[in-house]
């Protein structure tokens, strides 16, 4: 495919992904009150903290952010689908048949990460912060800072939970091996701590470790996935080589 046609195809895939995002955001707009009151603010209210709006337009901005956040999450399967459709020409014909399954598994990993961030990371971090409140110091939370905090944790968790899928496909292509991942395990742990520090919006070590812990477990899981894929690929190559040897023998 010529380079310009490749760019044109990429442009249309992006347009379709953005269209899915806009539709999902519009749907979330119909339930914006429920999203704000029963989803976004619930973790904060459960630990006894009350959000504050520090600008006249704060409430409007909050509802717009809520719509966009939920729109991004809900439209992720559509975004992943068009991403894989763009990658599909570089795959083997038998691999293209599994695009729907790939999108499904990738979406499950992402939603699993989002759920982990919302139900585990966010409440634990908020509980930790709330315990620092003293008799003479009242902890008040700016709503825009809270939403940024929430978004960073749940989206960061969603992306981190894609690590096993990334490991699978890189191993499938022969780029990644379990030996390589074991050799650079210590380097990976340092990188994980750096990534956790970048993703988490707060500078405290507790929130960073809460995100780094699952990343370490996912890295170890990715080693086993890579080992399984490489063993399967080597076995298939050995069978194919044996078949060619039989055909070439007199």
Q: pLDDT tens, 120-151?
A: 888 888 888 777 766 777 777 888 888 888 88
And the tokens for 210? 């809460």
Count Cβ atoms within 10 A of the Cβ of residue 167 and give its class: 0-12 exposed, 13-18 middle, 19 or more buried: buried
* Maximum distance among all Cα pairs of the chain, rounded to whole angstroms: 92
Q: What is the mean pLDDT of the chain?
A: 83
Q: What is the rounded distance in angstroms from the CA atom of residue 220 to the CA atom of residue 235?
A: 23
**Which pTM does this prediction carry?**
0.79
Identify the sign of the CA torsion 198, 200, 205, 208: negative
At 137, phi and psi to the nearest 5? -125, 120
**Residue 91: what pLDDT?**
67
Q: Is it the case that residue 40 has pLDDT exceeding 80?
A: yes
pLDDT in tens, 62-76: 888 889 889 999 999
Q: What is the percent of the chain with per-residue pLDDT over 70, rounded to a whole number? A: 88
Q: Is it the case that residue 243 has pLDDT exceeding 60?
A: yes
Count Cβ atoms within 10 A of the Cβ of residue 54 and give its class: 0-12 exposed, 13-18 middle, 19 or more buried: exposed
The more confident residue out of 213 and 19 is 19
**Residue 3: what pLDDT?**
64
């Amino acid at each position: 495919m010529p380079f310009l046609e490749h760019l044109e195809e990429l442009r249309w895939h992006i347009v379709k992904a953005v269209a899915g995002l806009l539709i999902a955001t519009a749907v979330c707009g119909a339930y914006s009150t429920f999203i704000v009151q029963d989803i976004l603010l619930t973790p904060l209210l459960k630990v006894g903290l009350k959000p504050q709006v520090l600008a006249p337009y704060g409430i409007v901005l909050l509802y717009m952010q809520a719509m966009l956040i939920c729109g991004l999450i809900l439209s992720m399967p559509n975004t992943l689908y068009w991403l894989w459709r763009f990658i599909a020409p570089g795959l083997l014909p038998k691999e293209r048949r599994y695009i729907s399954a790939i999108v499904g598994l990738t979406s499950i990993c992402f939603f699993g990460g989002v759920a982990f961030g919302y139900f585990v990371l966010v409440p634990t971090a908020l509980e930790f912060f709330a315990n620092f409140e003293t008799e003479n110091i009242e902890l008040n939370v700016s709503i825009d800072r809270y939403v940024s905090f929430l978004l960073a944790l749940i989206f960061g968790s969603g992306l981190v939970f894609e690590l096993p899928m990334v490991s699978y496909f890189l191993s499938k292509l022969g780029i990644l091996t379990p030996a390589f991942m074991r050799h650079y395990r210590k380097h990976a742990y340092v990188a994980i701590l750096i990534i956790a520090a970048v993703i988490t919006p707060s500078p405290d070590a507790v929130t960073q470790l809460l995100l780094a812990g699952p990343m370490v477990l996912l890295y170890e899981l990715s080693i086993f996935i890579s080992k399984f894929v490489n063993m399967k690929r080597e076995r298939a190559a050995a069978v194919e080589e044996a078949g060619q040897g039989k055909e070439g023998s007199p």
